[in-house]
Amino acid sequence: MADIFEQEVDEELRKDRYNALLRRYGPWVLGVAIVIIVGVGGWQAWESWSKSQRDAASDTYVAAARLVENDRFEEAGVELEQIAENGPDGYATLALMQQGAIALEQGDNDAARRLFEQAAARSPEPLVRDLATLKAALAGFETYSTDDLANRLGRIASGDNAMRHLATELIASKALSEGDYDRARREYDSIVFALDAPDGVRVRASAALALLNRLDPQGAADDEEFAGEITLDETMTGEEPGSEAGDFTLGDGTEPAADEDALDITLPEATLGNADNVTPGSEDDTAGSGEDEE
């Protein structure tokens, strides 16, 4: 009988302890459970909303791309503007890049530069951000000084950035067009002697160095006047003003080209030279012909 009584007392004591613990910690446990449930539900709802936004932006972008292919730029601009304002960062970046390309096609370099700069600021992907920065620099090439370009492209041109040689080429081209031969030579040399430089970029740098040899201020009295007439096309191809040349894009010879194509992003044509017609041997011939003329 005593044993039964003791068991009942122990059971009551345990119940009292459990009730005390529940009163003390129950609200906290319940709160944590509610937070977890609401958090999981909210995350799933956000994921569903984000997916619907991405799907809508994707459909709109595809429709805009088709309009661009049919030269219906005004209608495409409306669609792209909608994506740039309301779409996810990735699609907004692509929309801004496409708007910049349209502006370049229409000859509005200043608008193109602003759009590419917005794309660079919006892009969540480093590669696309660097590409947009390069495009912005290329669109504003005529209005920038060498130092301006160096400041804008310094991060890309340094370290092991995948597009550093393209950035260096732009800086060197501007230095050459301004008659800063020493700086241009240093920049082009860094490309020529870089083992990882894309072949297309190295060939253009070698051709530009051959042109530099002919434009050395000590070689001709009118070099300064001549340098002032050099354009981006000539500095990036090694061709003399007035010479005939084929199409040549800044993107030739770069490793990320496949990714750019996949994103429907192409660098605007910046040069007039023909990569197929420029070989290391032809640079020697160019330099040699300059010496013969002298």
Number of domain units in the chain:
1
- Is the residue at 244 inside a domain? yes
Range 4-8 average pLDDT? 63
- Is the residue at 14 inside a domain? no
- Is the residue at 110 inside a domain? no
What is the pLDDT, as a whole number, of residue 70? Answer: 86
- Is the residue at 16 inside a domain? no
Range 205-225 average pLDDT? 67
Is pLDDT of 93 > 90? yes
Question: Among residues of the chain, what percentage have pLDDT more than 90?
Answer: 36
What is the pLDDT, as a whole number, of residue 71? Answer: 84
153-176 pLDDT tens trace:
999 998 788 899 999 999 999 999
Is pLDDT of 110 > 90? yes
Query: Under a CB-based contact definition with an 8 Å cutoff, are residues 164 and 156 in contact?
Result: yes
pLDDT band at 96 (very low <50, low <70, confident <90, very high): very high
- Is the residue at 118 inside a domain? no
- Is the residue at 206 inside a domain? yes
- Is the residue at 243 inside a domain? yes
- Is the residue at 66 inside a domain? no
Quick check: helix, strand or coil at residue 217? coil
Of 148 and 58, the structure prediction assigns the larger pLDDT to 148
pLDDT band at 189 (very low <50, low <70, confident <90, very high): very high
Distance between alpha carbon 125 and the CA centroid of its chain, in Å?
A: 8
Average pLDDT, the chain: 74
Range 189-213 average pLDDT? 92
Question: Among residues of the chain, what percentage have pLDDT more than 70?
Answer: 69
Range 139-152 average pLDDT? 93
The model's pTM is 0.61
Of 227 and 117, the structure prediction assigns the larger pLDDT to 117
The parent domain of residue 198 ranges over 157-294
Cα separation, 219 vs 291, whole angstroms: 10
What is the pLDDT, as a whole number, of residue 232? Answer: 54
Of 218 and 207, the structure prediction assigns the larger pLDDT to 207
Distances from the Cα of 37 to the Cαs of 34, 44, 56, in angstroms? Answer: 5, 11, 29
What is the pLDDT, as a whole number, of residue 6? Answer: 62
Q: Which residues contact 52 (CB under 8 A, 6 or more apart)?
A: none
What is the pLDDT, as a whole number, of residue 43? Answer: 76
Query: Under a CB-based contact definition with an 8 Å cutoff, are residues 75 and 67 in contact?
Result: yes
Distances from the Cα of 10 to the Cαs of 5, 6, 144, 267, 275, in angstroms? Answer: 9, 6, 88, 82, 93
The least confident of 90-99, 100-109, 181-190, 216-225 is 216-225
